[in-house]
Structure 1
Amino acid sequence: MTISVRRAVPADQPICAEIFIETVTATFPNEPPEGRTAEAYANSIAGEEQWVAVSGSRIIGYISIYCPTNFIHSLYVRPDSQGQGAGRALLAVALRSAKGDMELKTDKFNTRAFAFYRRQGWRVVGEGMAATGPWWRLRRAGGIL
């Protein structure tokens, strides 16, 4: 599968909202219904830079970055497209464009995501608790790969 990454444009937003809803539903089964909506998606990316992963003509994932703090807020890949390189490609773009170290959080119960980030060289730098449960804070040097 050939995957390309490009900046998101306004026309991508309905598809990204669909990916958000599909992935949140599959990954976070205890997420309340109001957390799995197009409105929740729009709120989650407000003020962030966004890139999409494309396979053929199909958008299969996205990443959103809060640039002032080099924080990856969202990285979602359609469940049927996971494990094919889209997440790696999205992270690579984010890391190349970063102005310093990047950070992200992942829920502790999301062991698949945690293992993915660790394989990509991210290291644990903290942990905490949210309403949704415990999380890890991860960091990786940005601006290089």
Structure 2
Amino acid sequence: MEIRPRTPDDLDACVKALAEVQASDRYPVDWPADPGRWLTPDGLAGAWIAVEAGAVLGHVALTRDAEVTRLFVAPGARGRGLAGQLLDTVRAAVRTPLKLEVSSEGEAAIAFYERSGWRRVGSSRATWLNAAGEPALLHHYESPPVQSSGPRSP
């Protein structure tokens, strides 16, 4: 398995993996009219994928305002630590604090972020609707502090 920057040639495989995630977890809640464009939001600073044997197993993107977005791992690749590796890749590329939003319906994602040291800093209502047809409740998170690689004090 390899984590590397996403290229335009990877988009079809990313859409295929996203379709598996959407069928399993309803992420995104509504299938986008142009899923390749959805994976490439305005303000994109970079995107990375986890690949193995030509298949995309996971994806993460970062916006210019240091927001992690479009993070997912294909159902058949879960339990291997890929989400954490993808987040670590973003954190290594950008040594500033990161932020992200997650819907309150994403209980597994919330548990993962909180186990990983992300801190909830607020909540708000989205402009899009959740599975119940109501404005989704979004929780806002900040990344844990970046660890220094310098010498430690005794």
- Is the shorter-chain TM-score for this pair beyond 0.5, marking a shared fold? yes
Q: Tell whether 2:132 aligns with 1:124.
A: no
Q: Is the 8 A contact 1:17 1:42 kept in 2?
A: no
Structure 1: segments with no counterpart, 5+ residues: none
**Percent of pairs identical after alignment?**
21
TM-score under structure 2 length normalisation: 0.80
Q: Deviations over 1:31-84 (max 9, x none)?
A: 34xx245x1342341342110112344320110110x21101110110111121
Which protein has greater RCO, CA pairs closer than 8 Å, 6+ apart?
A: 1
Q: Tell whether 2:54 aligns with 1:51.
A: no
In the alignment, residue 20 of structure 2 is paired with which amino acid? E
Bigger radius of gyration: 2
Listed as ranges, the matches of 1:19-58 within 5 Å are 19-28=17-26, 31-32=29-30, 35-37=31-33, 39-46=34-41, 47-48=43-44, 49-58=46-55
In the alignment, residue 65 of structure 1 is paired with which amino acid? L
Q: Deviations over 1:81-109 (max 9, x none)?
A: 11211111100011111141100111101
How many residues matched?
139
Q: Tell whether 2:143 aligns with 1:140.
A: yes
Q: For the residues of structure 1 that align with 2:145 and 2:32, how far apart are their CA atoms?
A: 30
Mean CA deviation greater in 101-110 or 18-27: 18-27
Q: Is the 8 A contact 2:119 2:144 kept in 1?
A: no
> Quick check: which one's helix share is greater?
1
Q: Is the 8 A contact 1:99 1:143 kept in 2?
A: yes
The alignment's C-alpha RMSD in Å is 2.1
Q: Deviations over 1:96-131 (max 9, x none)?
A: 111411001111011000001111110101111112
SS in 2 for 1:69: coil
Structure 2: segments with no counterpart, 5+ residues: 130-135, 149-154
Q: Is the 8 A contact 1:65 1:72 kept in 2?
A: yes
Shift of 1:143: 5.0
Name the counterpart of 1:6: 4
